[in-house]
Structure 1
Amino acid sequence: MVKIAYILLCHKDPDGIVTQAERLTAVGDFVSIHFDGRAKREDYDRIRTALADNPSVTFAKRRVKCGWGEWSLVDATLQALYAAVDAFPRATHFYMLSGDCMPIKSGEYAHDFLQKADVDYIESFDFFASDWIKTGIKEERLIYRHWFNERTQKTWFYRSMEWQKSLGLARKVPSDLAIQIGSQWWCLRRQTIERLLKFIRKRPDVMRFFRTTWIPDETFFQTLVRHLVPETEIRSRTLTFLVFTDYGMPQTFYNDHYDLLLSQDYLFARKISPDAHELKARLGALYSAEGHEFRISGEGRRLFTFLTGRGRIGRRFAPRFWESESSVGRNRTLMMVTCKKWHVAKRLVSRIRAVTGTPAIDYLFDEASTALPDLGGIQSTLEKRARHRRALVRMLFDYYKTDRLIFCIDPASVEMIRDFYNDKAKVRLLEIECDFTDDYLIGHARRVGLAGGATPQDTLNRLLPTIRYDVRFESERLREMDFSGFQVIRQSADADENAVSLAAFLDIPAEKAREIAATEYLFVD
C-alpha cells in the first residue's frame, strides 16, 4: 500500500505551510519539513507549535541557510530526507515539494498512480549531450569549484572561475558517474532513497565534488539515481506540473486555471499565486476527495508555449546569409498560395493544375509528406528545404522544365515569403481568406496539440480568442507588407469576384479563372 512522505522545502508563509501539512497528512500521508535557516525563527516556531500534535509531521534536525544555485538546497533536502526515513518507516515513496506547490489530483488518485508501476519518477538527461541547459555556463558548472553565488556575488563568481581556468585548475568528474540533469521535483521509492543515503555515506569524494558544483539540485539526485537504479525502473519525468514563460520565469497559476490544472498528467503543480485564494481552497479540498474522476488531456505546456510565444515567432532574427544566397531566376514567375486552411489551398492548386497545366505543389515548406521529386536529398527534410529554399525552388523549375511554378505556404511564414519577394524572379502572392467557426478553431487546436479531447470547455473558451486573433494577425501582417502582385479570394465572395483575382494572379483568361473559382467544394470543411 502506497504511503507518501512529502519532503517539503519552504521559507515563508508559516500559516500556509501548516495548512499544507495538515491537508497532506489528513489522508494518511507524511510530511518532513525543512524551513529555511534564513527565515524568521518566530515563523519556524509557529509552524512547530501548530503541528506539534501531528504524528505524521517531522522536521529536519538542522536548518540550512539556503541560496539559489548552491549546495545548500541539496543539503536541506538531505536533512529533510534523513528525518523522514527515520520517522516514517511505513513510507513507500518520497516526494519533493515546495511551499508554492499544490495538489492537482486527489490523494486517492496519487496513491493509485504510484501503485501501478514500481518505478522512480525523476527527470534525468545526459548533462553533456542534452540541450536541457538553454543559456549560461554548462560544463563550467562541474569542472570548476564554485564558492560564490552567481546571483549575489556575481563579480567574485566569475572572477573565481577565470582564475581557476587561467591556472589550469579544471577538475575531472568522478570517473564512475555519468552526470545527469533535470528538474529538482522528483518522486522516489523508499529503496532508492535508502540506496542513495547509503551511497553518499560511502563516497565522500562524490559529496566533495557536488558541494562545489553550481546548481547541484539539478544534477545531484538525478545523477545518483541513474547510477544506483536500473534504467527500466526510472521514468525520466517529473510528477509536478511547472511551465516556464518565454522569459525563463516560472508560470504562475491563478483562480481561472483550476480546470486546466486538473486535466494535466501530473499530481502537483507549481507555482500557485499567493493571491489565488479560490484556487488554493479548491485544490486543497481536492486532495481529500474520494471517487473523483479526472479527464487527462495533457496539453498544458504546449498551450502555455503557444500563448506566451505570440509576438516572437518570426520576428526575432534577421534572415541568415544562406537563406538568400541563390536566386530562383530573373525570367521565372513564382506564385505562392497562402491559406490557414491547408485543405482549401490544396484543393485550389489541384484545380489550377487541372485547368491550366501549371506545375503546382502543396505545402512545400510546411508538410514533410508533400510529394516531391528526388532532387539529390535537398528535399528530404523540412529543415533542409527551409535552409536552401531558393536553391530548392530553382531546382523544381528545372525539374518541371517550366518558367511558372506555384506552391502553397502557411501565412505564418512571412519571413520566407518576404525572402522570395527579394529574389530576382517575378513573385506573386494569393491569399485565400476563409471563415473560421469556433468548432473549426477548436479542431485546429486539437490537431496542433494545443488542446485534447478532454480539455475543459472553459479552457477552450479562453483559448479561442487567442487563436482567432492569431489567424487574423497573420492575414493583416501580409497586407501590411504591401507585396506586389498580391491578390485575395474570399470564402464570402462569389465566383465572379474571385475569378477577377485569380485571373490577375495566374495571368490567365477570365473564363478559365471563372472555371477555377466556381469549384463547388473549394471551401468545404
Structure 2
Amino acid sequence: MSRIAFILLCHKDPMGVIAQAQRLTASGDYVSIHYDARAPARDFERVRKALADDPSVAFAARRWKCGWGEWSLVGATLEAVRAAVGAFPLATHFYMLSGDCMPIKSAEYAHAFLDAEDCDYIENFDFFESDWIKTGFKEERLIYRHWFNERLSKKLFYTSFEIQKRLGITRRVPADIQVMIGSQWWCLRRQTVEKVLEFCDTRPDVLQFFSTTWIPDETFFQTVVPHVVPRKEIRRRTLTYLVFTDYGMPVTFYNDHFNLLIGQDYLFARKISPEALRLRERLGALWAASGVHFPISNEATGLFRFLTGRGRIGRRFGQRFWETESSLGRDNTLLLVVAKKWHVAKRLTAAIRAEAGIPAVDYLFNEMEAHLPDLGGVETTLGKRDRHRRALLRLLFEQFEASRMVICLDPSALYLIEDLMGDKAEARLLLIESDFDSAYVRGHIGRVGLAGAQTAPEVVERLMRTVKADLEYEAERLRDMGYAGFHTIAPWREPADNAAELGRFLDVSPEIATRLAKTEHLFTD
C-alpha cells in the first residue's frame, strides 16, 4: 500500500499548518515542511514546537527566503524533498502541497488511486511548442538571466532584462535537455524522486541554468522528471485541482464549494480560503473518512467558465472606447428581439419578414447564417461582427433601405444589449419569456458542455439548479434595466395580450400584430 510523504511549502497561518500536518499524518502518511524564512520567526517556532515530537513530520534543513518567480521556490522544494527522503524510508510517493491546499478525497481513496498505477503525475509540456504560457515572457524566461525578483525589485528586474536584450547577451539551453513546463503541483514515486536528487548532484550546470531563469518552479521538475524517467511512466497531469481566471489569478474556494470540489477527478484542491472554516472542517473530516463513494463529474471548471464568461454588465465587459462616438443614426429604429430559446425568436423574425415587411435578421452575433445580405466582408466572421457592430448595423440599414430593423440577441449578451439600447438611434426591446422546464435545462447543460452522457444523475440535478437560476437571472437583469422601450411576450399569456405588445414593439396594425401573435407553433420547443 502506498504511503505519501507530503512536501508542504508554507509561509503563513501556523495554526493551519499544524492542523494540516496532524491531519495528514493521522492517516499513516508523512509531512516534510519548509516554512518560508521571510515569515516571522515566532510563527515557525510555534509550528516546530507543536510538531517536534511527531516522528511522521520532518523539517527542511535549510529555510529559504522565498519569492514568486525565483529559484528559491525550487530550492525550498528540494530541501523539503531531501529531508523527506532521509526521514521516511517507507514513503512510496512524494506529493507537493501548499498551505492553501486541502484534500477533496479521503485518504483511503487517495491511497487506492496511487496503488492502481505505477506512474508519476506531473504536467510537462514542451516549453516552446505548447501554448501553456498565455501571455508575457516566453523564451525570455530562459535565454536571459534573471537575478532580481520581478515583484519586489521591478525596476532592477526590467532594467537588467533590457540591458541584456540591448547588448544581445543571451545564453543557450543545456544541449541535452528538453525544457518542459507545467504546474508546480506534482506527485512523484520514490524512485523518481531519488533519480531527480541524483541528477541534481551530478548536473550542477543544469541547476545553475535554472537558478537564473524566471519562474523555474514551472519548468525545473517538469524538465528533469521526463529526462530521468521513461515518458510512458508519466501522466501529464496534476492531482491538485486549481482554476485560473482570465487574468492568471488562481480561483479561491469557499464554504459553498464542497460538493463541487469532491466531484472533481483530483485528490487535493487549492486555493481554499482561510476564512472558509466550514469548508476546511468538512474537507478535513473527509480525509479521515472510509467507505465514501465519489461520483466524478469534473464539471467545476466548465461551470466556472460558464458563469464568468457570460458578458454581464459590471462583471466583465464594458463599452469599447472607439464605439462611444459612433451611432446607428438618429432617424433609425433598432428592434431587439431577446430570447434564450433561439428557435422561438427565429420563428418570430420569419413571421415579421413575411407579415410585417420589416427587415429582420436572426442571431447575427452568434451564428454565421443569420439571414444577412452580402456586406463586402465585414460579416464574414463573428469576431468582426462584434468588433464593428455599429458599422455592421448601419450597413444593414442602408442595405435594406429601411429605417426600422429587427435583430435577435441572446439575453446573456447584456453588454451588447445595453450598448445598443443606449445608442442615439431609437431602440426597443422585446423579451420573449420562456418556461425553463427540466427537459430544456438538461438539454442546455449538454449544449454548453457542462455535462455529458457519462455524468452522474445527481451531478446533473445539482447543475440544473445552478443553470436554471442563471437563465432566470438573465431575464430579471433585463427587467431591472428599466428601459422605456421594453416589451414582453410569453407562452402563458393570451394571444390578445401578446398581440398588443407586438403591436407597440413593431408599430404595426392590430391585424398584423394578431397574425404574428398567432404564428403557428411560435412557442413550441
Task: Tell me if TM exceeds 0.5.
Answer: yes
- 2:269 aligns to what? 269
Structure 2 contact 7–33 (Cα < 8 Å) conserved: yes
- Superposed, 1:16-165 pairs within 5 Å as 16-165=16-165
What's the CA shift for 1:434? 0.7
Q: CA separation of 1:438/1:247 partners in 2, compared to 1, >3 Å: closer, same or farther?
A: farther
Structure 1 distance, partners of 2:44, 2:415, is 56
2:187 equivalent to 1:187: yes
- 1:469 aligns to what? 473
Structure 1 distance, partners of 2:288, 2:360, is 61
Instruction: Give unpaired runs (5+ residues) of structure 1.
Output: none
- 1:433 aligns to what? 432
Structure 2 distance, partners of 1:237, 1:312, is 35
What's the CA shift for 1:454? 3.9
What's the CA shift for 1:487? 5.4
Structure 2 distance, partners of 1:130, 1:401, is 49
Structure 1 contact 106–288 (Cα < 8 Å) conserved: yes
Structure 2 distance, partners of 1:429, 1:234, is 58
Q: CA separation of 1:409/1:129 partners in 2, compared to 1, >3 Å: closer, same or farther?
A: farther
Q: CA separation of 1:205/1:245 partners in 2, compared to 1, >3 Å: closer, same or farther?
A: same
Specify the SS of the correspondent of 1:366: coil
Specify the SS of the correspondent of 2:34: strand
Structure 1 distance, partners of 2:28, 2:284, is 15
Structure 1 distance, partners of 2:279, 2:423, is 55
Structure 2 contact 147–157 (Cα < 8 Å) conserved: yes
Aligned partner of 2:154: which letter?
K
Structure 1 contact 349–360 (Cα < 8 Å) conserved: yes
Structure 1 contact 441–464 (Cα < 8 Å) conserved: no
Structure 2 contact 436–468 (Cα < 8 Å) conserved: no
Structure 2 distance, partners of 1:175, 1:370, is 54
What's the CA shift for 1:268? 1.1
Q: CA separation of 1:435/1:373 partners in 2, compared to 1, >3 Å: closer, same or farther?
A: closer
- 1:316 aligns to what? 318
Structure 2 distance, partners of 1:373, 1:112, is 61
Structure 1 distance, partners of 2:433, 2:161, is 58
Structure 2 contact 421–428 (Cα < 8 Å) conserved: no
- 2:285 aligns to what? 285
- Superposed, 1:228-377 pairs within 5 Å as 228-245=228-245, 248-305=248-305, 307=307, 310-312=312-314, 315-316=317-318, 318=320, 336-352=336-352, 362-367=362-367
What's the CA shift for 1:318? 1.0
Structure 2 distance, partners of 1:512, 1:97, is 67
Structure 1 distance, partners of 2:178, 2:417, is 46
Structure 1 distance, partners of 2:397, 2:503, is 22
Instruction: Give unpaired runs (5+ residues) of structure 2.
Output: none
Count of aligned positions: 518
Q: What is the aligned-residue identity percentage? A: 57
Deviations 1:252-306 (A, max 9, x none): 3333332222223321122223333332222111112111112333232344445
Structure 1 contact 339–409 (Cα < 8 Å) conserved: yes
Specify the SS of the correspondent of 2:222: helix
Structure 1 distance, partners of 2:96, 2:201, is 21
What's the CA shift for 1:209? 1.1
Deviations 1:452-482 (A, max 9, x none): 75449788767765553343224555x64x6
Structure 2 distance, partners of 1:50, 1:513, is 78
Structure 2 distance, partners of 1:466, 1:145, is 48
Aligned partner of 2:85: which letter?
V
Q: CA separation of 1:251/1:315 partners in 2, compared to 1, >3 Å: closer, same or farther?
A: closer
What's the CA shift for 1:343? 3.3
Structure 2 distance, partners of 1:467, 1:201, is 58
What's the CA shift for 1:186? 1.6
2:171 equivalent to 1:171: yes
Query: 5-14 vs 360-369, which deviates more?
Result: 360-369
Structure 2 distance, partners of 1:313, 1:48, is 44
Structure 2 contact 30–88 (Cα < 8 Å) conserved: yes
Structure 2 distance, partners of 1:312, 1:441, is 28
- 2:409 aligns to what? 409
What's the CA shift for 1:394? 9.8
Structure 1 distance, partners of 2:177, 2:341, is 51
Deviations 1:193-221 (A, max 9, x none): 23333333332222111101122112212
- 1:205 aligns to what? 205
Q: CA separation of 1:137/1:30 partners in 2, compared to 1, >3 Å: closer, same or farther?
A: same
Structure 1 contact 25–56 (Cα < 8 Å) conserved: yes
Structure 2 contact 335–430 (Cα < 8 Å) conserved: no
What's the CA shift for 1:106? 0.3
- 1:514 aligns to what? 514
Q: CA separation of 1:335/1:51 partners in 2, compared to 1, >3 Å: closer, same or farther?
A: closer
Q: CA separation of 1:348/1:324 partners in 2, compared to 1, >3 Å: closer, same or farther?
A: farther
Aligned partner of 2:121: which letter?
Y
Specify the SS of the correspondent of 1:66: coil
Structure 1 distance, partners of 2:350, 2:196, is 63
Structure 2 distance, partners of 1:38, 1:358, is 70
Aligned partner of 1:318: which letter?
R
What's the CA shift for 1:231? 4.8
Structure 1 contact 412–474 (Cα < 8 Å) conserved: no
Query: 207-216 vs 305-314, which deviates more?
Result: 305-314
Deviations 1:376-420 (A, max 9, x none): 998776446545768988999999999998653223435656888
Structure 1 contact 120–235 (Cα < 8 Å) conserved: yes
Structure 1 distance, partners of 2:8, 2:67, is 16
Structure 2 distance, partners of 1:324, 1:122, is 51
Calculate the TM-score normalised by the size of structure 1: 0.80
Structure 1 contact 181–219 (Cα < 8 Å) conserved: yes
Structure 1 contact 32–83 (Cα < 8 Å) conserved: yes
Structure 2 distance, partners of 1:75, 1:254, is 31
Structure 2 distance, partners of 1:293, 1:117, is 20
Calculate the TM-score normalised by the size of structure 2: 0.80
Query: 397-406 vs 441-450, which deviates more?
Result: 397-406
What's the CA shift for 1:98? 0.9
2:22 equivalent to 1:3: no
What's the CA shift for 1:22? 2.4
